[in-house]
Amino acid sequence: MVVTASAPGKLMLLGDHAVVYDHPCIVTAVDLRYSVSIEVTNNDEIKIKVPVHGIENNFSVKVEKIGTSNTKETSFVEAAISAIYKKYGVTKGLAVTTNGPKISYGLGSSSAVTVATVRALSQVFNLNLTSKEIFELSYQAVLDVQGKGSGFDVAAAVFGGTIYYAGKGKHIEPLQHEDIPLVICYSGEKVGTVNLVKQVYELKQRRPNIVDSVFEIMHRLVDRAREALLNSDWDTVGELANIHQGLLDALGVNAPKLSELVFSARKGGALGAKLSGAGGGDCIFALYSGNNKDMISSSLLKANGEIIDIKTGARGVYIASVS
């Protein structure tokens, strides 16, 4: 029996970096999906295929050594298997295959793959894990690999939709809104999240009061945006996104290319635009109103941005097939 689970990526809307320090953020799941197929085998090995990264028949590890291979492409799958195996005392061999877009654009591939692995294993071994348990095991697995992270991306992959998230998962509130008028644009540049989180941590060590004040403003801004989002008040969400962009710049995580895209989107008529996530690269998003989506998109294309045409508010993890 092969079980396949599918989980969505994420787009951080507001609260980036502040959420690491337990302030809230708003995140939406995106339908850039990742799937993990798992079958139990009759040996003591775990074989993992990651075809998009050229790992076909060359990765296998003994069950007792799972999570120790130091292979970047399989690290999140391994950590997820290891978390489940440790907690539930499983010792079976597995054949695992992951699939998804080759380029992740910083839109949550690691968390999606982790969550899909945990969900598929829950099905394979009849663990009947609740969403909250899937979240907790997946978040632990992500921390095992990267050491840092607020878990908002894991929550988006588990629960889907658009959520208000805080306190490393203590507060997860679905915001019923599937249709946010967004243009998402990739900068073409990638920077590791962990380094940027560390950079902000160091700034906070040097200037605790100032950085805490910036986080406080972000917190207020996220709370106000939550209300605006629920009322589809896009003018307000846009204005708050612009202010937030300035605050991320203040934290030192903006980058010239991101600024160029943000200003291009605003020139094209966006209600607001900001970088999404850790900063340094990856994506920006812009809010459009009425029929100015195309104008914003062409302004971004002129600035050499890559428009990522994906839906927001995507469905959380689910079992896609059992065969």
Residue 73 DSSP class: G
* Burial group, residue 92, by CB count within 10 angstroms (0-12, 13-18, 19+): middle
φ/ψ bin of 105: left (φ > 0), alpha (ψ from -120 to 50), beta (otherwise) = left
Rounded alpha-carbon distances, angstroms, from residue 217 to 63, 208, 248, 252, 272: 47, 14, 11, 16, 17
**Segment interacting with ligand MEV (CB under 6 A) among 67-75, 149-157, 170-178, 233-241:** 149-157
- The three-state secondary structure class of 258 is helix
Of the residues 46, 197, 229, 271, which one makes contact with ligand MEV according to CB under 6 A: 197
Q: How far apart are CA 204 and CA 109, in angstroms?
A: 28
Q: Is 149 in the site for ligand MEV (CB under 6 A)?
A: yes
**Number of chain positions touching ligand MEV (CB under 6 A):** 12
Q: What are phi and psi of 39, to 5 degrees?
A: -135, 140
Rounded least distance, CB 43 to ligand MEV, Å:
37
Q: Which is nearer to ligand MEV, 19 or 116 (CB)?
A: 19
265, two tokens? 């989107």
**Segment interacting with ligand MEV (CB under 6 A) among 16-24, 28-36, 65-73, 181-189:** 16-24
Q: With contact defined as beta carbons under 8 Å apart, do 289 and 237 qualify?
A: no
Q: Is 193 in the site for ligand MEV (CB under 6 A)?
A: yes
Q: Which is nearer to ligand MEV, 238 or 277 (CB)?
A: 277
Spatial CA neighbour of 287 closest among 247, 231, 242, 255: 242
Q: Is 114 in the site for ligand MEV (CB under 6 A)?
A: no
Q: Which is nearer to ligand MEV, 98 or 111 (CB)?
A: 111
Which residues within the stretch 120-139 sit at the binding site for ligand MEV (CB under 6 A)? none
Rounded least distance, CB 293 to ligand MEV, Å:
25
**Segment interacting with ligand MEV (CB under 6 A) among 9-17, 206-214, 284-292, 298-306:** 9-17
Q: Is 277 in the site for ligand MEV (CB under 6 A)?
A: yes
- Side-chain half-sphere exposure of 186, counting CA atoms within 13 A: 14
Q: Report the DSSP pairing between strands 25-41 and 162-166.
A: antiparallel
Helix axes 208-230, 193-206, angle to 10 degrees: 120
Q: With contact defined as beta carbons under 8 Å apart, do 81 and 60 qualify?
A: no
Q: Is 19 in the site for ligand MEV (CB under 6 A)?
A: yes
Task: Give the Cβ contact number of residue 138 at 10 Å.
Answer: 33
Considering the candidates 22, 31, 44, 153, report the single residue annotated as catalytic. 153
Helix (H) or strand (E) holding 173: strand 171-175
**Segment interacting with ligand MEV (CB under 6 A) among 36-44, 147-155, 156-164, 230-238:** 147-155
**Segment interacting with ligand MEV (CB under 6 A) among 14-22, 59-67, 113-121, 241-249:** 14-22
Q: Which is nearer to ligand MEV, 118 or 197 (CB)?
A: 197
Q: Is 152 in the site for ligand MEV (CB under 6 A)?
A: yes
Q: How far apart are CA 238 and CA 302, in angstroms?
A: 22
Q: Which is nearer to ligand MEV, 15 or 268 (CB)?
A: 15
235 given a catalytic annotation: no
Q: Which is nearer to ligand MEV, 46 or 282 (CB)?
A: 282
Q: Where do runs of H (alpha helix) occur along 207-305?
A: 208-230, 234-250, 256-267, 293-302
Of the residues 4, 13, 14, 17, which one makes contact with ligand MEV according to CB under 6 A: 17
Q: Which is nearer to ligand MEV, 17 or 266 (CB)?
A: 17
Site residues, ligand MEV (CB under 6 A): 12, 16-17, 19-20, 149-150, 152, 193, 197, 277-278
- List active site positions: 153
